[in-house]
A and B are shown apart, each in its own frame.
Chain A
Amino acid sequence: MIYLAVLGRVVLGTLGALGRVTIFAFSAIVHIFRPPLYVGQFLTSLVQIGWLSLPVVGLTALFTGGALVMQIYAGGARFNAQAVVPQIVAIGMVRELGPVLVGLMVAARVTAAIAAEIATMKVTEQLDALITLSTDPMRYLTVPRVLAALLVVPLLVAVGDVIGIMGGYIVATGSLGFNPTAYLRNTVDFLEPLDIASSLIKGAAFGMIAAIMGCYFGMNADRGARGVGRATKSAVEAAAVLILAANFVLTALIFAL
């Protein structure tokens, strides 16, 4: 019986938390469409989330693209199907690995940074100070970050897709004997607009998830320095899991229906 009670409490607690996150996310999205926008905060967020994430996104995509080519080449060789390597790499990168890897990197970098920054503001009463200065933290802190992530993470995904394909291209032409021109032509001819659209849509969704989780857990941090650490950890966990779950749902919606 005790186990049931504990289980019940855990389930109820989880549902309650999910409900609060959902309400927060909803409110953040609604606020995006209501002016005014704090332009300075928004521009800073664009730089923080977009520009400064480029190195980690680029390196992640480059190495993954290179490894992907070797795997698919080796697997394809079992069926004498090495010729389709460019096409499979392109699809794997653009539809799946590009958005997921960029999403997870953004969760690690951006969600953590947002959660730690806002949690610190909460712990040091800066959020209260904002409110007493007649400024809504939702509008001043959350909206600029979520909007910036929504706009800039698809671009990061596009960059990741291209660099991932280039990573594959380097390995394929450098050590697997593929013809450079043919490889690129196969890649470009094969990809369809829907593949690219799905990549960008996933990027937008993952960016929003990453920013919203950072803001939510930051704003709800417990008091004290431990509160900042715990908020950051929870935010990154929640963002990573939700990004993977959203990836599953979006893949099903876009390609299976």
Chain B
Amino acid sequence: MITLTDIHKTFDGKPILRGVNLTLPQGQSTVVIGASGSGKSVLMRSILGLVTPDSGTITHQDAPLNPQAFLNDFGMLFQGAALFDSLPIWQNVAFRLLRQMPKPRARAIALQKLARVGLDADVADRLPATLSGGMQKRAGLARAIATDPSVIFFDEPTTGLDPIMARTINTLIRDIVSETNATTLTITHDMTTVHSIADQVALLDKGKIRWHGTPAQMATATDDKLQAFLFSGS
């Protein structure tokens, strides 16, 4: 379980997070929605230590979250996949594995993860730049799950993909989340992502969690900001 309490963050005098409280329950899938620029990525980066909050506390299993230890059992799919340009796909996927085991074994696991996300073995030796956006997302997903981490983050997994590819990625994430029993945090403004993977939904608005509940509760919620978000089609 990861708990954020009263997180504040200001950039250049502009408050982005203004007292965020959020709990990511163990083994569950939490999805944070919110308008573009509302601070979803800043929130996620705060947990990873990539952004240092001005105030507030973050705990993991009831102890203060230590990013270094936390990241050892963690995987992430970045918005643009963020594959390393200079490494072939399999080495991207096996990046962490290559430090833990001999090369052939790391490669074997990488190929298995690539297959899991629907990529053929013949992409393994290609460079990321030679793959389409959708294939890069798949490879990024394979990298995120390479070590079977117990915490996985997804930053806008379907943004920039065509609807068919978006559905494929949503399905993959849903299956992986249910297979692995990992604790996951997803940020998105794609409602199909919410409906396909969320156990819990939180709406970030004006630097605070404005509403949170289950997808079922969301359907009957009366919060005007949530309604506006649901119907804006963003």
Least CB distance from A33 to B in Å reads 21
Q: Is A129 a contact of B96 with CB atoms below 8 Å? A: no
* CB closest chain-A residue, reference B73: A134
Q: State the CA gap A133–B77 with chains docked (Å).
A: 11
Residues of A with C-beta under 8 A to B161: none
With A134-B68, A134-B72 given, is the CB distance from A129 to B78 under 8 Å?
Answer: yes
Residues of B with C-beta under 8 A to A132: 48, 50, 71, 74-76
**Chain A contact residues, majority secondary structure:** helix
Least CB distance from B131 to A in Å reads 14
Within 8 Å by CB of B50, from A126, A131, A135, lies A131
Q: Is A134 a contact of B71 with CB atoms below 8 Å? A: yes
Residues of A with C-beta under 8 A to B96: 133-134
The yes or no answer to B229 lying at the interface (CB within 8 A) is no
Residues of B with C-beta under 8 A to A135: 95
Q: State the CA gap A128–B49 with chains docked (Å).
A: 10
List A residues 110-155 near B (Cβ within 8 Å): 120-121, 124-126, 128-135
Residues of A with C-beta under 8 A to B50: 128, 131-132
Least CB distance from B98 to A in Å reads 10
Residues of A with C-beta under 8 A to B95: 133, 135
With A134-B71, A134-B96 given, is the CB distance from A129 to B84 under 8 Å?
Answer: yes
Q: Is A128 a contact of B71 with CB atoms below 8 Å? A: no
The yes or no answer to B126 lying at the interface (CB within 8 A) is no
Residues of A with C-beta under 8 A to B79: 125
Q: State the CA gap A44–B87 with chains docked (Å).
A: 12
Q: How large is the interface on B (under 10, 10 to 19, 20 to 34, 35 or more residues)?
A: 20 to 34
The yes or no answer to B225 lying at the interface (CB within 8 A) is no
Residues of B with C-beta under 8 A to A134: 68, 71-72, 96
List B residues 78-136 near A (Cβ within 8 Å): 78-80, 82-86, 95-96
Within 8 Å by CB of A129, from B49, B72, B82, B86, lies B82
Q: Is B82 a contact of A124 with CB atoms below 8 Å? A: yes
Q: State the CA gap A125–B41 with chains docked (Å).
A: 12
Residues of B with C-beta under 8 A to A126: 82-85
Q: State the CA gap A130–B75 with chains docked (Å).
A: 11
* CB closest chain-A residue, reference B155: A125
Q: State the CA gap A124–B84 with chains docked (Å).
A: 10
Residues of A with C-beta under 8 A to B86: 44
Closest 3 CB pairs between A and B? A125-B82, A129-B82, A125-B78
Pick 17 A–B contacts, CB within 8 A, sort by A.
Answer: A124-B80, A124-B82, A126-B82, A128-B45, A128-B48, A129-B78, A129-B82, A129-B83, A129-B84, A130-B84, A131-B48, A131-B50, A132-B50, A132-B76, A134-B68, A134-B72, A135-B95
